[in-house]
Amino acid sequence: MKEVLKLEQSLQQAQELLAQIPPLLLTWYDHSARILPWRQQPTPYRVWVSEIMLQQTRVSAVMPYYERFLSALPTVGALADAPEEVLLKLWEGLGYYNRVRNMQKAARAVMEQHGGELPASFEELVKLPGIGEYTAGAVASIAYGLRVPAVDGNVLRILSRWLLSRADVTMPPVKRAYQALVQQMLPAERVGDFNQALMELGATVCLPNGDPLCESCPVAGLCRARERGCAAELPVKAPKKPRREEKRTILLVVSEGKVLLTKRPANGLLAGLWEYLNLEGHLSAQEAAAHCGVPVSSVRRLGAAKHIFSHIEWKMRGYLIQVSGFTPQGECVWADQLQFEEQYSVPSAFQQYTKLLRQYWEDQR
């Protein structure tokens, strides 16, 4: 709380300093901004899709997904009507699948309540599923030119450094104070560009993990943390809870060139996606084979793999198991390579085993 009070005092003292920043930042943005597909024709739909994809995902990883998504679903209406399998396939590998499910819920709400156009109002945008204050601010300012801030982790980091504030940026009062500050800093014109310039600075210059490129920074002369040589220590964030570790055994069960896939439950982690047989614990080859319950022709041990979710870490081991006569029950299918590639969405948590499966298909040719 002491740090929050200090931050509030520091904000009052910094008004003059902060007023100098927008023109410097906009000039830098005009010369240095990366050319990104969502910055061309920034329609509300295009900005929205890009902002959702960019949550927890790097720009380079998003690029191919963005183009593919927009050409398959070019409008809010197309997104609202897309079958779930199509939606999940377009998102396959991006992770955090609830993002795309919420986008579809929001698209349906936009069709029903807003005549198919994302509303030109921060307050209405933030009511839509999956759209938080940051995304609403980004769409409202970039696509509609509305005077609202868009404050994400990048912006919180930059502001902590400008102000040399050690207030914990994960605390809601700190975030609110910074949102109010950016609101005051918004220039009279080019609000969307200003918000994007802040994001761009955070993504390309004022980098996280103690690695800012201060020598390339357009506002280095106004930055208190740089002056004191402590930019790398900021922002301050409360430590996250340690992740829970889970051991899993992944079975690539194959027969006559097909792989057995099962559908995950409709709720919870990776809800509704397809996966290989996936068992709790680390099983021996014998235990894994016994689990199939049918004659097994061969079992090959595959390498270990891990996948980190936000709260859980999977430590996996795997086996390639050749069987014959396995009749799938429940939500299971046998998929050949074409069906696997075109129809079924298998999350990137299994990517090591998916690579080995493709290798298996390659070897079969």
Residue 249's region, left for phi above 0, alpha for psi from -120 to 50, else beta, is beta
287 is catalytic: no
State the pairing for strand pair 244-255/332-335: unpaired
Q: Which residue has the tokens 């198991």?
A: 321
Residue 255 pairs in a beta bridge with: 258
Give a three-class secondary structure readout of 347-363.
Answer: CHHHHHHHHHHHHHHHH
Whole-angstrom Cα distance, residue 34 to residue 20? 23
* Nearest CB to ligand SF4, comparing residues 23 and 328: 23
Residue pair 120/126 in contact (Cβ under 8 Å)? The answer is no
Q: Which amino acid is at 42?
A: P
Total site size for ligand SF4, rule CB under 6 A: 15
Report the first-to-last Cα separation within the chain, whole angstroms: 65
Centre a 10 Å sphere on the Cβ of residue 280 and count the other Cβ atoms it contains. Answer: 9
Interaction between residue 205 and ligand SF4 (CB under 6 A): yes
Choose one: 213-221, 245-253, 258-266, 312-320; the region binding ligand SF4 (CB under 6 A): 213-221
Q: Which of residues 104-163 bind ligand SF4 (CB under 6 A)?
A: 158, 161-162
Nearer residue to ligand SF4 within complex by CB, 32 or 322: 32
Active-site residue identified among 51, 92, 133, 275? 51
Which among 35-43, 118-126, 210-218, 315-323 is the span making contact with ligand SF4, rule CB under 6 A?
210-218
Instruction: Tell the burial category of 81 from Cβ atoms under 10 Å away from its Cβ (0-12, 13-18, 19+).
Output: middle
The residue type at 38: W
Select the span of 219-227, 267-275, 291-299, 350-358 touching ligand SF4 (CB under 6 A): 219-227
Out of 62, 197, 223, 283, name the contact with ligand SF4 by CB under 6 A.
223
Q: How far is the CB of 192 from ligand SF4 (least distance, A)?
A: 21
Of 225, 270, 320, 346, the one binding ligand SF4 by CB under 6 A: 225
Between 52 and 206, whose beta carbon lies closer to ligand SF4? Answer: 206
The stretch among 42-50, 222-230, 260-268, 279-287 that binds ligand SF4 (CB under 6 A) is 222-230
Backbone angles phi, psi at 150, to 5 degrees: -135, 95
> What are the residues binding ligand SF4 (CB under 6 A)?
158, 161-162, 205-206, 212-214, 217, 219-220, 223, 225-226, 231
Catalytic residues: 51
